[in-house]
Structure 1
Amino acid sequence: MLQIYLIRHGQTKWNLLKKMQGSKDSKLTDQGIKQAIMLGKKLKPVKFNKIYSSSATRTMETSGFIFPSMEVCYSTSLNEIAMGEWEGRTYTQIEKMNPKEWHNFFNDPFNYNPSKGGESFAKLKNRLKQFIYTERLFSQEGNIAIVSHRITLRMLLSILLEEKELFSEIDLSPTSLSVIEIDDNTCKVKYLNNISHYCDA
């Protein structure tokens, strides 16, 4: 049996300002660091066979606080969806500028047309499927962790559970923990968006 621990990066300064990050980065807040450290304490009893992380600075830092003495495999395949001209803009600015695409981005992703330099959800889905294939994810056993991003993890969850509609039905908080169990190629949710460690931060 395989258990996949899906972890979103810690709260960033742009999260607080409600700015879209995508392929750009901003620093973790003090609260984001505290929550990552507390999640690390919660996961300390778990023996991980492998730990993956997006190569973005905010996820690498989060991984370091959660797994301070463990080897982490960094992969650009786990990076956040590129958002083109939206990156660095506030939610309000984007919604005013592109109301239809803003709605589609969260609610109808496969009809979303990215701005210049942005990435479609079809491309995001394909690179995550390639990651699953390359890493032979379904052939692994034990416990693995994946530290990534809000949109990327939502897409990964929908792929693993083979529920396309799931993408628009869930959201993931900073440093949230979601656990998927895979046994005989059957996936089920053990935890989804668990933030119980917030109480200790």
Structure 2
Amino acid sequence: MVDTVAIALLRHGLTIANERRAYLGWSDSPLSAGGEKQILALRDFYPMYEKIHTSDLPRCVETARLLFPDAALVKDGSFREMNFGLWEGRTYDELKGDGKYLDWLEHPMEAEVPGGESYPEFSARVRNGWNEWIADEKGRHVLMTHGGVIRDLLVRFAPVEKAFFDWGIAHGMGYELIWKDRNSLRRGERCTLLQAVPIMANLNG
């Protein structure tokens, strides 16, 4: 159908901080050697997309350039990961003595993050950025972003309802959401089809 809209939500490649299992929100960390190798190995499994949107953080931009080297990128800070404030770059073992951190682990959808964002603040930012972006979109697009952003969008738009933490998103992979027409997307309706991407068959033969 000509009016169909497909948006692939992709997670950036594995970073050095990810390998340490450190909290990584608005601070940044380069892709690890293994992360870069994995992304390059996935390149031939992705189809061509009409437009590549990306979080403005370098790990997403770098991943998008590796996967789609000939594409023009549109960077948007609305699609950054949640801001972990004073916990940025620190691990569970480094934070487990912090009472505010333990409270956040118990109530992650409500508790405050010192110097960062609460989940409602994060979700509202992503929602606003999404609404501005999709207002006039059609065709097939990519949003290269972060695990938290993808989960938040899937909670809202996946055809089946699942909780935030029930969605798993591997680095360099994600989901393609398909709406039957632009009006369904603009009205904020759930997509009609959801599929994991990439489809692991070489698209170049």
Normalised by the length of structure 2, the TM-score is 0.83
Residues 162-185 of structure 1: CA deviation (Å, up to 9, x unaligned):
877521211212112211111142
Q: Distance in 2 between matches of 1:126 and 1:136?
A: 16
Q: Distance in 1 between matches of 2:95 and 2:168?
A: 19
Q: Distance in 2 between matches of 1:104 and 1:196?
A: 37
- Cα–Cα, structure 1 residues 83 and 162, in superposed 2: closer, same or farther, change >3 Å? farther
CA RMSD, 1 decimal: 2.2
1:189 Cα offset (Å): 4.6
Cross-structure match for 1:172: 169
Q: Secondary structure at the match of 1:126?
A: helix
Match of 1:147 among 140, 144, 149: 144
Cross-structure match for 1:83: 84
1:93 Cα offset (Å): 2.3
**Structure with a larger share of its residues in helix:** 1
Cross-structure match for 1:60: 61
Q: Distance in 2 between matches of 1:173 and 1:195?
A: 14
Conserved? CA contact 2:53–2:74, under 8 Å: yes
Alignment of 1:39-54 (within 5 A): 39-43=42-46, 46-54=47-55
Q: Secondary structure at the match of 1:140?
A: coil
1:187 Cα offset (Å): 0.6
Higher Rg of the two aligned structures = 2
Cross-structure match for 2:37: 34
Cross-structure match for 1:135: 133
Q: Distance in 1 between matches of 2:48 and 2:29?
A: 30
Conserved? CA contact 2:159–2:192, under 8 Å: no
Conserved? CA contact 1:14–1:21, under 8 Å: yes
- Cα–Cα, structure 1 residues 173 and 94, in superposed 2: closer, same or farther, change >3 Å? farther
Normalised by the length of structure 1, the TM-score is 0.84
Size of the aligned set, in residue pairs, is: 189
Return 5+ residue gaps in structure 1 as ranges: none
Q: Distance in 2 between matches of 1:162 and 1:124?
A: 22
1:94 Cα offset (Å): 2.6
Return 5+ residue gaps in structure 2 as ranges: 185-189
Conserved? CA contact 1:3–1:182, under 8 Å: yes
Worse overlay, 155-164 or 141-150: 155-164
